[in-house]
């Protein structure tokens, strides 16, 4: 693992974990039915769900967009290298699992700066025998470090899919656009940018209520329009591929999202609303449920 991240002392990791403030990666984990979160994260997720009771569809469809995008890039375009920044906590169908199922020798580098993610990073390194995975403990705001470390696993002279999924709405413009540009400019022709982003274009009342629950907890939370999302591509000399910048559930929705196995009704009755989310069938979705744009761009 890059930067000797796995050699960090457990006590040092615990010191870095702030359980008094919600963290975006851990709140995301709550909505995905994970266990690697704290009461403060579950409270933030519950508040967001109360503000928008079908808001879990944003999180789950955002994740399913990543599944479809990686599948498409590996299967149709032959992309075999992925740089996933803002990885979040390990969950079912991580990028390397999807890519290596299609191209066994795929290489994947994960990047995050959350110590909780670092504590579970070994789960992200279970590469197939022909491929490689690595984890970098680094901040998105330090692209030079990310590229230097990623170059130890990825061949940066060959196409790379840069995945920035549900990350950039936690950054103000003066950081977000230049950093994306710097990362993309370091990648060769044929590389891709996989991007998703929250917006108020689609259902403003719902997402603004959610935004308030996050900003009250100290998060930067920037909702961007379709034009502002497209700017991440145009400013980095990327051509957005079909179907363009679209609501996440409409990006190449040619294979339905997996349906979780539902427990019996009596067990469901014991769960609170946020715990029930993991068992929901997200194929029951309308345009009125989604506040996430998704797109993929290619570097010519």
DSSP string, 260-281: PPP--HHHHTTS-HHHHGGG--
The closest alpha carbon to 139, from 268, 257, 14, 25, belongs to 25
In this structure, the number of other CB atoms found within 10 A of the CB of residue 175 comes to: 14
Could you give phi then psi for residue 192, rounded to 5 degrees?
Answer: -130, 155
What distances in angstroms separate CA 65 from CA 130, 153, 254, one per listed residue? 26, 25, 11
Residues of the chain with pLDDT under 70: 1-13, 123, 255
Cα gap 291→298, rounded to integer Å: 24
Torsion sign (Cα): 94, 95, 96, 98: positive
Question: 19 pairs with which residues across the strands?
Answer: none
Q: What is the pLDDT of residue 261?
A: 86
Q: What is the pLDDT of residue 7?
A: 54
Q: What is the pLDDT of residue 4?
A: 46
- Location of structure tokens 């345009």: 287
Q: What is the pLDDT of residues 146-199, one digit of tens each?
A: 999 999 999 999 999 999 999 999 999 999 999 999 999 999 999 999 999 999
Q: What is the pLDDT of residue 10?
A: 64
Q: What is the pLDDT of residue 6?
A: 53
Cα gap 295→197, rounded to integer Å: 9
Sequence-separated (6 or more) residues with CB below 8 Å from residue 216: none
- Location of structure tokens 């502002």: 228
The closest alpha carbon to 300, from 187, 196, 194, 195, belongs to 187
Q: Which two tokens stand for residue 201?
A: 């274009």
- Classify residue 88 by burial, with Cβ atoms within 10 Å: 0-12, 13-18, 19+: buried
Which helix (H) or strand (E) element contains residue 74? helix 56-77
How large is the C-alpha radius of gyration of the chain?
Answer: 18
Q: What is the pLDDT of residue 183?
A: 98
Q: What is the pLDDT of residue 13?
A: 67
Q: What is the pLDDT of residue 9?
A: 66
Q: What is the pLDDT of residue 167?
A: 95
* Residue 160 and residue 137 in contact, taking contact as beta carbons nearer than 8 Å: no
């Amino acid at each position: 693992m890059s930067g000797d991240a796995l050699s960090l002392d457990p006590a040092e990791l615990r010191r870095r974990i702030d359980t008094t403030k919600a963290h975006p990666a851990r709140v995301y984990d709550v909505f995905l039915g994970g266990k690697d979160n704290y009461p403060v994260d579950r409270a933030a997720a519950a508040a967001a769900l109360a503000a928008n009771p079908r808001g879990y569809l944003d999180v789950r469809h955002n994740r399913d967009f990543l599944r479809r995008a990686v599948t498409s890039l590996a299967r149709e375009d032959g992309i075999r290298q992925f740089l996933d920044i803002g990885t979040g906590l390990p969950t079912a169908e991580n990028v390397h699992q999807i890519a290596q199922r299609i191209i066994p020798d795929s290489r994947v580098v994960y990047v995050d700066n959350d110590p909780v993610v670092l504590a579970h990073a070994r789960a992200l390194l279970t590469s197939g025998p022909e491929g490689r995975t690595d984890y970098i403990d680094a901040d998105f705001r330090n692209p030079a470090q990310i590229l230097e470390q990623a170059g130890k696993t990825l061949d940066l002279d060959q196409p790379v899919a840069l995945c920035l999924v549900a990350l950039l709405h936690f950054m103000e413009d003066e950081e977000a656009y230049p950093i994306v540009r710097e990362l993309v400019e370091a990648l060769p022709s044929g590389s891709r940018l996989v991007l998703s982003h929250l917006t108020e274009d689609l259902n403003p009342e719902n997402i603004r209520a959610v935004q308030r629950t996050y900003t009250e907890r100290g998060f930067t939370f920037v909702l961007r329009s379709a034009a502002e999302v497209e700017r991440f591509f145009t400013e980095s000399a990327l051509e957005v591929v079909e179907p363009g910048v679209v609501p996440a559930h409409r990006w190449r929705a040619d294979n339905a999202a997996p349906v979780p196995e539902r427990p019996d009704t009596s067990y469901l009755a014991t769960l609170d609303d946020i715990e029930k989310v993991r068992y929901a069938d997200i194929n029951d979705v309308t345009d009125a449920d989604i506040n996430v744009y998704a797109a993929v761009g290619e570097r010519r």
